[in-house]
Amino acid sequence: VVAIGCGSGGGDAGSEPGDDDDDTGTTAGNTLPVYDTPIQICINEVMTDNTGALEVDGDWPDWIELHNPTATTQSLDGWLVHDESGSAFRLDASASIPASGFLLLYASELDLPGHLPFKLNNSGDSVSLVRPDESFIQVNVPESVADYAFARETDCCAGDCWTAQLWGTPGETNVVPEE
């Protein structure tokens, strides 16, 4: 089992939360959505060295799997996905995750739907998902071995519940192999 640190809290994609001009969700003249609930979407699985686990659009892209454990569809319109290098991608209105569903984002640098304009670093990386209000979740992924995904032992489990998993389970419920 490989431990991966994760955290949540104030964002790093601009001004700090709490720096609002008037507590209305407005920061530096920009109106931001105000969320009354914590982030319910989780980064569920990350593959940083895909050489044979999953072929997509003629490529073997790394991926970031997001999971929605709630009973309602969650829109990701305006959310930002970025890695440790600062490469970022803003999701649009077409990005949503159905109830109890998954969304795979391919870190491939390909200019195709569902693909991010950056690749992940297999020597260690961090992946963040930032809401428009700048609250975020982050996963710190250690150096990886080819075709091993770093996945939560059970979908969206909390705490130190990460494992290295050969091939991963892209777009599906995580299953920990029996030892």
Interval 108-126: pLDDT, tens? 999 999 999 999 999 999 9
Specify the pLDDT at position 179: 63
Quick check: 107 and 118 in contact, CB under 8 A?
yes
> For residue 4, is pLDDT > 50?
no
Specify the pLDDT at position 36: 54
The mean-pLDDT minimum among 19-28, 39-48, 107-116 falls in 19-28
Could you identify the residue written with the tokens 């001009």? 21
> For residue 47, is pLDDT > 50?
yes
> For residue 3, is pLDDT > 90?
no
Calculate mean pLDDT across residues 48-56.
95
Q: How many angstroms separate the CA atoms of 112 and 125, rounded?
A: 23
The mean-pLDDT minimum among 18-32, 35-49, 111-125, 157-171 falls in 18-32
More confident residue, 20 or 129: 129
Strand boundaries in the chain, DSSP class E: 6-9, 26-27, 30-31, 42-47, 62-67, 74-75, 80-83, 88-90, 96-97, 102-107, 115-116, 125-130, 136-141, 148-152, 162-166
**Structure tokens given for 27:** 């920061």
Eight-class DSSP state of 27:
E
Q: What integer best gives the mean pLDDT of the chain?
A: 81
